[in-house]
Chain A
Amino acid sequence: MEATREIYWNVGHGVVWPMYTIFGIAISVFLYGFYRRFVVYRQGKALNRNDRLPERILLFLKTMVAQTRVLRVHGPGFLHAFFFWSFGLLFIGTLLIMVQVDFTQPILGVIFLKGTFYKLYSLMLDIAGIVAIITLGGLLVRRFFYKPEGLETIKDDYVVHAMLLAILVTGFVIEGLRMAATELRNNPELAVFSPVGMLFGKLFLGVTPGSLSLAHKIQWWIHFLIAMSFIAIVPFTKLRHIFTTPANYLFTDLAPKGSITTINMEDEGTGRFGAAKVADLAWKDIFDADACTACKRCQDRCPAHATGKPLSPMKIVKQIGDVAFNNPGAGLVETLGADALWACTTCRACQDICPANIEHVNKILEMRRNLALMEGSFPGNEVRTAVSNIEVNGNPFGLAFASRGEWADGLGVKIMQQDSDVDVLYFVGCYASFDKRNREIARSFIQICNAADIRVGMLGKEEKCCGEPVRKMGNEYLYQMVAAGNIEVIKGYGVKKIVTTCPHCFNTLGQDYRDLGLDIHVEHYSTFVNGLISGNKLKLKPESFEFTYHDSCYLGRYRDIIAEPRAVLKSAGGQIVEMDLSGYESFCCGGGGGRILAEEKLGTRISMARVKMAQATRAPLLVSNCPFCLTMIEDGIKTGDSEGKLKALDLAEIIASRIGG
């Protein structure tokens, strides 16, 4: 007897018309639901996310099919991925039946669900069904019984879990009823290829044929109607993420990480800057709210949220969606809260982990731009002072601009104004130039360069703040003013390579300044020094030490520079003890996003939380690669009563102390 089964067994081919009618209704509701949402997305400004299509499609397929983003968090990610794969197989299985019974068979006379293929098909679907039930069970227990902190359960969750479970269980019940009446009686060898169905079937073996037939018909319709309802409610519930989240992979921002739109100051256009209303955001910013599954992975990693500040990246995304759908005229800042918006350190931990490729940071920046450019607001008066200091003296401390290069007196650094014949231009940055503690970084870097016979030049009093902190605080105007000044000076000297000791300067000069016309290779000193060591230009006298390493956000998450600084420290004799949160999962020091200029008035100190993490490694030394980080961490050591227990040094200081050999 050939391995196959009768499609529409017991229910008969008569169900085709009512079935497709209901299916048609379900699809119509589905399409209507998404159309209504589409109209809401369209409130946002235009943004092209259809360029580089082949790349996008590949990314979309890879990320969705392999569930790579979802799997970055192991436990629930694993459950979701297996549920996705198994439910996907079941969907394909159902589709194959439809293709055969309603298309290839009546039109072409082709039956492919037979023989070995049918056996494999049957076995695969049974396994998929049971895997789906088990993983759904796992997700259900997690959501309703052992709920992790911060996971919000809404009405949708009950509906979705119940429907999915009902679809899966009724599927097996139908299979069992059919098998009890057919395969289990007349083709037991085939029945083993439906192991789960067989188990269900055995339950029904004692039932009379008439009852089996009736029960099967009822179950068939129940299963079908739940499945159709499932399709119909997709756009109206969280289920929409089945479509919106993968679509977000397709619409991923392919620009380099951390790219921010450079506002054209000449174009007065509407005279409105930043986002006050949802209509000021891009359509993608509204769409992101629909792609969000409220998995709260962003919130779990947000340093502001972890230290009691009123910011949750997830809430920001959801609230924007809420405003767009329910109250499009509402003011974004009023709804989301200025304190929440100012609390962001732009550390990108949220965006890096998001399984839906949502862009949290730029939304916050757009709203900050509105606050800064349209309202002239600041998170505090200390920031107002720092900003006005940058305007006048080109540094947030308000120190005389002419004293910017004084740290280098006697170190043999060339001042470009006097002699621009150099190998590299060292863009020192404000902290290494003016802050007493951070000047050690600059001096150490020069010692390293001198040891490697690198001729270093600096702009001295011609250098201004790179503009990063004020840009992240929303003040695009001042950013562009200082940037234009720096670019003009740098271009004037025919510089070939720029090295920075600050990851913020590094990102700003190397990436942000491109939009303003600076196209020169910019390197952070950690990779530069790594190159000097591996190229045998710099000889070190390794000396053993134990340390833990703090990845600055703008080097690690933003620029993927994670291995190089570790390699440099290793060649200096360091043995690393990693913190629980390192590399891409590193926890911000609290100084990013312009927060270095601001007092931390809400919640507890982020820097203290980070210092505690470092202390948990029991390493006596915390090494960082950023003047902001060093400042924040030393602050955290002082205020967190960790003095004497943990010492903080910059990578440059360690290397400078081991020159020789």
Chain B
Amino acid sequence: MKLLVCIKQVPDMASRFKVNGNGIWYDEADLAFRMNEYDEFAVEQAVRLKEQLGNEPDITVLSIGPDRVIEPIKKALAMGCDRGVHIQDSASYRKDPWQIASAIAGFSHGKNFDLIFTGMQSQDRGSAQVGAILAELLGINCVTTVVGFAIDNRVVTAKRELEGGVKGVVKFSLPALVTCHLGLNTPRYPTLPNIMKAKKKELLTFPITDFLQEKEMTVTASAYAPARKGSGILLEGDVNDVAERLYGILKDKTTVVK
């Protein structure tokens, strides 16, 4: 069985974001980067599947971006993926989801992946489109926002997170693509021997031009921080007093209490 995991490196959400020089994305100075949280669930699920099937599946982990994205690829390799693929693109933030999905499809073409895992969305752009477009381009089943995953004889039973806390269960056959959501699993912490082994695993680098001929379908016109609408109020002092004041505010300004 051949598995593909698509991951993205994103800034840590606690970072202070500033809009960059060309006004369409964030400035990378002083940002700490990490693997997109949903993609960690994707890596973990792929590795669990490999373990469940007696280590038979072969996992390729792929990321598009500048050289810094090698870090999360290494982490994924330390978590248990077999091979890393870095699609080099120094300005990947300028690519829209259609182009990203097309590039991955370009790479995947003819490789016959049985199952592709992606995150539900990225924490920075948050389009939640790459997985679905990729499945469409490859003509395979697609199941999004997966919070439960079981496989039996090439038939997957997946639990999906729907709106308002409702869950849905779907069954589908391979080949397929799933986008992983919070609650699917708790990603493992790589062990030191696996970190060491990961350093020796294969890491292939390709320029994005090898796989992408498509033009963008959407263009970011501008990026900006939301305008401040008033500031928060900090209630301090005696608990009873604070509670009274909070009640007063809720009564005056909201419909929570009548």
Contact = CB atoms under 8 A, between A and B. Distances in A.
A400 B196 contact: no
B37 to A, nearest CB: 10
Interface in A184-225: none
Given A381-B186, A401-B32, 9 more contacts: A271-B196, A373-B191, A374-B192, A378-B189, A393-B32, A394-B32, A398-B14, A400-B15, A403-B16
Contacts of A273: 192-193
Contacts of B12: 392-393, 398, 400
A477 B34 contact: no
Interface in B1-33: 12, 14-16, 30-33
A374 B30 contact: no
A222 B188 CA distance: 67
20 contacts: A265-B192, A271-B193, A271-B196, A273-B192, A374-B192, A377-B189, A378-B189, A388-B189, A392-B12, A392-B33, A392-B34, A393-B32, A398-B14, A400-B14, A400-B15, A400-B32, A401-B30, A402-B15, A402-B16, A477-B195
B190 interface: yes
A55 interface: no
A265 B32 CA distance: 25
B36 to A, nearest CB: 12
Nearest to B194: A376
Contacts of B196: 268, 271
A539 interface: no
Nearest to A381: B186
Interface of B: 12, 14-16, 30-34, 186, 188-193, 195-196
A92 to B, nearest CB: 54
A161 interface: no
A411 B30 CA distance: 22
A347 interface: no
Interface string A357-381: 0000000000000000111111001
B188 A461 contact: no
A401 B32 CA distance: 7
Interface of A: 265, 268, 271-273, 373-378, 381, 384, 387-388, 391-394, 398-403, 461, 476-477
Contacts of A376: 188-191
A393 B34 CA distance: 10
Contacts, number: 54
Nearest to B196: A268
A374 B14 contact: no
Instruction: Rank and list the top 5 A-B pairs by shortest CB-CB distance, nearest first.
Output: A376-B189, A402-B30, A373-B192, A400-B15, A392-B34
A384 B187 CA distance: 10
Contacts of A377: 189
Nearest to B199: A268
A402 B12 CA distance: 12
Contacts of B34: 388, 391-392
Given A271-B196, A400-B14, A402-B16, A374 B32 contact: no
Contacts of B186: 381
A268 B193 CA distance: 8
A374, A400, A402, A461 pick with most chain B CB within 10 angstroms = A400
A272 B193 CA distance: 7
B15 A387 contact: no
A374 B193 contact: yes
B189 A477 contact: no
Given A392-B12, A398-B12, A461-B30, A387 B193 contact: no
A387 to B, nearest CB: 7
Contacts of B16: 400, 402-403
A381 to B, nearest CB: 8
Contact of A399 (B14, B31, B190, B191): B14
A391 B33 CA distance: 10
A349 to B, nearest CB: 30
A374 B189 CA distance: 10
Contacts of A394: 32
A401 B12 CA distance: 10
A272 to B, nearest CB: 8
A300 B30 CA distance: 49
Contacts of A374: 191-193
Contacts of B192: 265, 273, 373-374, 476-477
A418 to B, nearest CB: 15
A387 B30 contact: no
A107 B1 CA distance: 89
Nearest to B197: A271
Contacts of A392: 12, 32-34
A372 to B, nearest CB: 8
Nearest to B35: A392
Contacts of A387: 189
A83 B30 CA distance: 68
B234 to A, nearest CB: 12
Nearest to B191: A376
A374 B188 CA distance: 12
A331 to B, nearest CB: 16
A82 to B, nearest CB: 51
Contact of A384 (B31, B32, B189, B191): B189
A400 B31 CA distance: 8
B115 to A, nearest CB: 24
Contacts of A401: 30, 32
A273 B195 CA distance: 13
Given A376-B188, A392-B12, A393-B14, A400 B193 contact: no
Contacts of A402: 15-16, 30-31
Nearest to A403: B16
